[in-house]
Amino acid sequence: MTRIAVVTGGTRGIGEAISLKLKEKGRFVIANYGGNDAAAKEFSDRTGIAVRKWDVGNHQACLDACAAIESEFGPIDIMVNNAGITRDATMVKMTFEQWDEVIRVDLTGCFNMAKGRVCRNA
C-alpha cells in the first residue's frame, strides 16, 4: 500500500520540492495551498500531484481537510508542515493583523495540522 503524504504549502518553493521528492520516493502526495488557484492547478497539471485548498491557520479547516483526505485517499502517513508566510517589516512596523496572520499560519498551522492528523475530532 502506498503511503500518503500531506505537504502544507506544497505547491510552490520549498514545498514544491518536498512534494516532488516524496512523489519520486513513491508516496501519494496531497499538496495544500492557501490562495493561488491558478498556480495550484498548473502545479497539479504539471506534476500529477493532488492539491487541496484550505487555511492551515484555521483549526476547523485543518480538521475538516484531514478528515476529507483520509476519507478520499486513506490514512495520512506523513505530514510535512511547510506552510509559511512573511510580512516583510520589522516587528515595530508591523500591524497587529500582519503579526497575527504570520503567527496563525506559521506556528498555529503546525498545531492545527497535528490535531487534524492525530485527533480528527479534537
Which tens digits make up the pLDDT trace of 32-58? 999 899 999 999 999 999 999 999 988
CATH architecture entry for 4-118: 3-Layer(aba) Sandwich (3.40)
- The C-alpha cell at 87 is 510580512
pLDDT band at 102 (very low <50, low <70, confident <90, very high): confident
Is residue 95 a contact partner of residue 61, using CB atoms and an 8 Å limit?
no
* Separation CA 30–CA 106 (nearest Å): 19
Is residue 43 a contact partner of residue 63, using CB atoms and an 8 Å limit?
no
Residue range 70-90: mean pLDDT, rounded: 87
- The C-alpha cell at 42 is 498548473
Q: What is the pLDDT of residue 7?
A: 96
Q: What is the pLDDT of residue 118?
A: 54
Q: Residue ranges of the domains in the chain?
A: 4-118
Q: What percent of the chain has pLDDT over 70?
A: 94
